[in-house]
């Protein structure tokens, strides 16, 4: 979306919501691109909470030295209930204005995007959003920052669990993150050779799952791995394992919930490059006079999507061909 071009002298940069590997690379790119173009930069700690608490500081090129390889976010993050109120946003704007900030680069997920959309409309401040979430569940982009790294983390865990599963003739249910998105479960499950993958988007009955496991047992598989997305309609890995074990006890059954380790660790090369391209593009779009847009990637091209469209339009990101491949690979 193109707004009336306003002179931008200082850009505020912040991260909000759940952290994701690669956020630091995006911060670094946004800061250095702004400085290269003769603009000043203010870092905002703890996202919207930092705006309300006036936790801000000047950033220069050295502020982002040696952070591209680090997980998490050097600007910290938080979920801010106060920002959802008009009074909270009024306080935030007063502090942003007092800091001399003319535009914002917001890095985060759908909650971050929603807050940016409302804030920008209420106070007519330009904002560009960068998708940073391991869930890969945002519209307007094929990939989000952190998704590739999280996938690699899960695959590494599956490989390690497979070793002990095979040694003990065990059935492992591995729960992965993704909220209502099965992207991590599907891709990591296929890459890790899982015998079954339970996805929020595809309801799998327990009886159907047991049939799949019995088929594997009949083929004398020494171990089996079932990857369960945390948003699966059967209630998560622990509940699925309990229900399966009541009817199918051929294997010694174990549950492993990977949890927040999926958010940590050094970002992959792919995430570092993606985040750098997005940070660079976000600042350049602001300087062109564009506002209330998200940055994304389609194929190899950087694209923009109006925030309103990104928040309202739903995209099914599951690769249906990969879902079919996952079934075939169990034989």
Provide the strand spans (E) within 22-135. 40-44, 56-59, 103-108, 127-131
Element of type H or E holding 25: helix 23-36
Q: Which residues pair with 107 in a beta bridge?
A: 15, 130
Per annotation, catalytic residue among 135, 148, 232, 271: 135
Strands (E) across the chain are located at: 10-15, 40-44, 56-59, 103-108, 127-131, 170-176, 196-198, 224-229, 252-257, 293-298, 301-306
Q: Give the distance from CA 38 to its chain's centroid.
A: 31
b (16+ CB within 10 A) / e for 189-212: bbebebbbbbbbbeebebeebbeb
Has 271 been annotated as catalytic? no
Cα–Cα dist 222/164, whole Å = 11
Q: How far apart are CA 262 and CA 56, in angstroms?
A: 29
State how far the Cα of 323 lies from the Cα of 328, in Å rounded to an integer: 9
CB 233 within 8 A of CB 214: no
Active site residues per annotation: 135
């Amino acid at each position: 979306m193109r707004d009336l071009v306003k002179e931008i002298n200082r850009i505020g940069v912040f991260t909000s919501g759940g952290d994701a590997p690669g956020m630091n690379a995006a911060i670094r790119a946004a800061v250095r691109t702004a400085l290269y173009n003769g603009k000043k930069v203010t870092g905002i700690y703890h996202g919207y909470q930092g705006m309300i608490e006036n936790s801000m500081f000047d950033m220069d090129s050295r502020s982002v030295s040696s952070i591209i390889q680090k997980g998490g976010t050097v600007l910290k993050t938080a979920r801010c209930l106060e920002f959802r109120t008009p009074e909270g946003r009024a306080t935030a704007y007063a502090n942003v204005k007092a800091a001399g900030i003319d535009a914002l680069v917001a890095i985060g997920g759908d909650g971050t995007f929603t807050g940016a959309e409302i804030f920008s409309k209420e106070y007519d401040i330009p904002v560009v959003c960068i998708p940073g979430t391991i869930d890969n569940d945002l519209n307007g982009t094929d990939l989000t920052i952190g998704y590739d790294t999280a996938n690699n983390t899960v695959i590494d865990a599956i490989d390690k669990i497979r070793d002990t599963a095979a040694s003990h003739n065990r059935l492992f249910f591995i729960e992965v993150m993704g909220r209502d998105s099965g992207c991590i479960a599907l891709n990591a499950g296929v890459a890790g050779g899982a015998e079954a993958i339970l996805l929020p988007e595809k309801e799998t009955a327990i009886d159907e799952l047991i049939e799949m496991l019995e088929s594997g047992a009949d083929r004398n598989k020494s171990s089996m791995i079932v990857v369960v997305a945390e948003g699966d309609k059967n209630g998560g890995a622990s509940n699925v394992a309990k229900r399966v074990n009541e009817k199918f006890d051929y294997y010694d059954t174990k549950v492993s919930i990977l949890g927040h380790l999926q958010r940590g660790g050094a970002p992959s090369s792919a995430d570092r490059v993606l985040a750098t391209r997005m940070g660079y593009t976000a600042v350049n779009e602001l300087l062109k006079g564009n506002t209330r847009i998200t940055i994304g990637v389609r194929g190899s091209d950087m694209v923009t999507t109006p925030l309103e469209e990104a928040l309202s339009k739903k995209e099914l990101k599951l690769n249906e061909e990969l879902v079919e491949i996952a079934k075939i690979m169990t034989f």
